[in-house]
């Protein structure tokens, strides 16, 4: 069995094409960032700072949710035994 044969490994070609697409998009994004940094360093700096702030806001939101999800249940509720 040849693992590169799509009949033998139906996800193999899909995974490989997805990897190629991700690499191509990443390369184009890097080229655009390099060009922006070279031609408009102030704009690049502001965008980089904004990205850092967005990431910090996301982390804060996730951390808040994680604290609520992992907190013990509140004792403000009253258990009512309906079975007996």
Mean of per-residue pLDDT scores for the chain: 86
Query: What's residue 32's pLDDT?
Result: 95
Whether 4 is covered by a domain: the verdict is no
Domain hosting residue 58, numbered range: 10-69
- Residue closest to 47 by CA, chosen among 36, 60, 61: 36
Whether 25 is covered by a domain: the verdict is yes
Task: Please tell me the total count of domains within the chain.
Answer: 1
Whether 45 is covered by a domain: the verdict is yes
Which long-range contacts does 36-42 make (Cβ < 8 Å, 24+ apart)?
none
Summarize pLDDT for 47-70 with one digit per residue, the tens.
999 999 999 999 999 998 888 888
CA dist., res. 57 & res. 65, Å (int): 13
Whether 82 is covered by a domain: the verdict is no
Mean pLDDT of 23-52: 96
Whether 44 is covered by a domain: the verdict is yes
Phi, psi of 6 (to 5 degrees): -60, -25
Give the global pTM. 0.52
Q: Which residue has the higher pLDDT, 60 or 71?
A: 60
């Amino acid at each position: 069995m040849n693992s590169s044969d799509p009949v033998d490994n139906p996800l193999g070609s899909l995974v490989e094409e997805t990897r190629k697409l991700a690499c191509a998009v990443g390369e184009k994004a890097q080229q655009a960032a390099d060009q922006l940094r070279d031609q408009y360093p102030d704009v690049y700096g502001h965008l980089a700072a904004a990205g850092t702030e967005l990431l910090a806001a996301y982390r804060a939101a996730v951390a808040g949710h994680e604290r609520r999800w992992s907190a013990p249940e509140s004792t403000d509720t009253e258990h009512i035994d309906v079975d007996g």
